[in-house]
Amino acid sequence: MIVVRNLRKAFHDRARGRIVAVDGLSFQVAPGEIYGLLGPNGAGKTTTLRILATLMEPDEGTIEVAGVDRTRDPLGIRQHIAYVPAEAGLPERLTPREVVRLFASIQGIPDGKALAERLLADLGASGFADTACGELSTGMKRRVVLARALVHSPDVLLLDEPTDGLDVPGRRQVLALIRAQAEQGRAIVLSSHIMSEVERVVHRVGVVDHGRMVTEGTLQHALEVSGQANLDDAFFHLVGAAE
């Protein structure tokens, strides 16, 4: 479903000069698979997700989603993806119900009202459906952003810290939703710094440091190559070994 080959992206910083954010990154994600894109702050995870979401242009490399080439048909690829950034980005005066219905209308979905009710209910946000988004907690905003992303039933979900700001019940709800989306055949790329959550939902991981792939494979593979007993320790061992 997702094929990334030799992705590169560099930026210019006045103080530090040229910074390579993504350096030859390659990976694939199959339908129904949850892929954990892991790395320390500044490793290139968010840059990679933004390039996949067509919000940023790569310097080099190719990306295909559902057989659609990103460079040749960026608008076509957007029909297959939904990007959930770490920031909420919600209009403060609109309510969650209005936001989801608006995005359903933009996507040309005929019964946006019923869809909004279902998605907000699935994410535990029904009780706040008529509260202005500017008055919502961080965790509730996260639920609304996820509902907004799912309105067009995308083939691919790009999730950047999807449980950030959620309480324990909220985290469990979102993780259950992610698993359910994969069971429906969606390919999911998940970036998170909470390794215990990653262990609960992902099928494979790619550990990135300084824009490069340090190791990739199943959770068991990551544990074996690092010689650690859990993903938290394996992550720090692998990133430290790459320094």
Asked, for residue 74, whether it belongs to a domain, the answer is no
Residue 16, both tokens = 């530090």
Give 14-33 pLDDT, tens digit per residue.
787 788 899 999 999 999 99
Region 169-194: what's the mean pLDDT? 88
Region 131-140: what's the mean pLDDT? 89
Distance of alpha carbon 152 from its chain centroid, rounded? 16
Residue spans of beta strands (DSSP E) within 73-120 = 81-84
Q: Which of 55, 81, 240 is nearest to 159 (CA)?
A: 81
**How close are the terminal C-alpha atoms of the chain, in Å?**
32
Asked, for residue 233, whether it belongs to a domain, the answer is yes
pTM confidence score: 0.87
CA dist 20 and 200 (Å) reads 32
Q: Give the domain extent around 138.
A: 101-168
pLDDT-derived band at 3, boundaries 50, 70, 90: very high
pLDDT of amino acid 218:
92
CA dist 29 and 185 (Å) reads 11
Residue 240, Cβ density class (10 Å: 0-12 exposed, 13-18 middle, ≥19 buried): exposed
Q: Which of 152, 154, 157 is nearest to 112 (CA)?
A: 152
pLDDT over 90 percentage in the chain: 44
Amino acid at site 75: L
Q: Which of 221, 232, 174 is nearest to 201 (CA)?
A: 174
Asked, for residue 121, whether it belongs to a domain, the answer is yes
Asked, for residue 154, whether it belongs to a domain, the answer is yes
Asked, for residue 119, whether it belongs to a domain, the answer is yes
pLDDT over 70 percentage in the chain: 98
CB 129 within 8 A of CB 119: no
Asked, for residue 91, whether it belongs to a domain, the answer is no
Give 136-175 pLDDT, tens digit per residue.
988 788 889 888 888 888 999 999 988 877 788 878 878 8
Asked, for residue 17, whether it belongs to a domain, the answer is no
Distance of alpha carbon 82 from its chain centroid, rounded? 8
pLDDT-derived band at 241, boundaries 50, 70, 90: low
> What is the number of domains present in the chain?
2
Amino acid at site 134: G
Amino acid at site 163: T
Residue 238's H or E segment, with its range, is helix 231-242
Give 67-108 pLDDT, tens digit per residue.
899 888 888 888 899 998 877 689 999 999 999 999 888 888
Amino acid at site 30: A
Q: How many CB atoms lie within 10 A of CB 64?
A: 17
Asked, for residue 59, whether it belongs to a domain, the answer is no
Put the strands of the sheet holding 156-160 in their side by side order. Answer: 81-84, 156-160, 187-191, 34-38, 204-209, 212-218
